[in-house]
């Protein structure tokens, strides 16, 4: 049975841990509001851009664009993984790593060669031990860098696509649904696919310049918007998961402190009772 001093030390240790988890919860809560607002505000823009693309595509007879053209390369696949740099955020990283690994193994079982561009230290540490080639890695990513990272990634993907270095590019990230829910997804990023809109409604619009010229501007913009949204969703999901995890840890620490305090009081009461018995027994012996 642990001594009173051991129990006191453990109570002090758990209390210090609770202070840390509570502080981390408050920090994540403050960061979450800003990240959530940014991720939510960007969604209508992406949805509107997609509808505009559908209308333009419906009005263009023959669509020709490098981002829509399927490369003559059926063996090489590129996966862009966007994760977090830090842990202590519950299953945020593990669920995405698991989902991405399943898809990578499926592609490899089909004879595909998988290469990766990884964002985040957690993903880098994990995929460094897998049978995949990491052609580019980025760590210590903060929201202020997202716009620049998006532009660099879009430029790199287009360059590699033009060089026929891959046949398909996928984007792996956690889609932010709510504070409690972040869904891991692996969406095809390139070549892009735009569903044909309603041709009847498309006939009500006149485009100047031509629809093809508009697509030359809108398609790269749409790709950058998807990547940027993935960065925003990742940041919001990470902060939400960390806030939830730290809240659970704080409550668990409180429950542990209560149990240890009860254990300490019982042990102290037992020690006092033993001392009293010894005193009474000694007095009776006299």
Nearest CA to 219 among 80, 61, 49? 49
* DSSP-assigned letter for residue 107: H
Element (H, E) at 115: strand 113-119
Judged by DSSP in three states, 3 sits in: coil
Task: Kindly give the pairing relationship between strand 113-119 and strand 182-190.
Answer: unpaired
Q: What is the arrangement of strands in the sheet containing 168-176, beginning at the earlier edge strand? A: 133-138, 113-119, 76-82, 168-176, 182-190
Active site positions, annotated: 89
Q: What are phi and psi of 116, to 5 degrees?
A: -135, 145
- Work out whether the CA dihedral 22, 28, 181, 190 comes out positive or negative: negative
Other beta carbons within 10 angstroms of residue 122's beta carbon come to 23
Contact at 8 Å (CB) between 77 and 168?
yes
- Work out whether the CA dihedral 267, 269, 274, 275 comes out positive or negative: positive
Phi-psi region of 237 (alpha: psi -120 to 50; beta: other; left: phi over 0): alpha
- In angstroms, the CA 2 to CA 113 distance is 57
């Amino acid at each position: 049975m642990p001594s009173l001093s051991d129990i006191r030390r453990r109570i002090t240790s758990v209390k210090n841990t609770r202070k840390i988890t509570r502080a981390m919860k408050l920090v994540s809560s403050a960061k979450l509001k800003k990240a959530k607002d940014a991720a939510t505000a960007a969604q209508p823009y992406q949805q509107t851009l997609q509808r505009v693309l559908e209308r333009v595509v419906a009005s263009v007879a023959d669509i020709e664009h490098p981002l829509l053209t399927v490369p003559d390369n059926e063996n090489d696949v590129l996966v862009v993984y966007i994760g977090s740099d830090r842990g202590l955020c519950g299953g945020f990283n593990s669920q995405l790593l698991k989902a991405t690994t399943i898809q990578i193994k499926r592609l490899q079982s089909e004879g595909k060669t998988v290469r990766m561009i990884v964002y985040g230290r957690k993903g880098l540490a994990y995929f460094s031990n897998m049978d995949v080639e990491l052609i580019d890695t980025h760590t210590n990513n903060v929201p202020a860098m997202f716009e620049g990272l998006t532009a660099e990634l879009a430029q790199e993907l287009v360059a590699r696509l033009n060089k026929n270095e891959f046949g398909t590019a996928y984007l792996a990230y956690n889609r932010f649904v709510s504070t409690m829910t972040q869904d891991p997804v692996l969406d095809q990023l390139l070549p892009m696919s735009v569903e044909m809109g309603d041709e009847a409604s498309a006939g009500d619009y006149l485009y100047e310049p031509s629809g093809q010229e508009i697509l030359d501007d809108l398609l790269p913009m749409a790709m950058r918007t998807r990547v940027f949204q993935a960065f925003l969703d990742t940041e919001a999901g990470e902060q939400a998961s960390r806030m939830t995890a730290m809240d659970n840890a704080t409550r668990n620490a409180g429950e542990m402190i209560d149990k240890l305090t009860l254990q300490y009081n019982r042990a102290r009461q037992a020690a006092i009772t033993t001392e009293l018995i010894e005193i009474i027994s000694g007095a009776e012996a006299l």
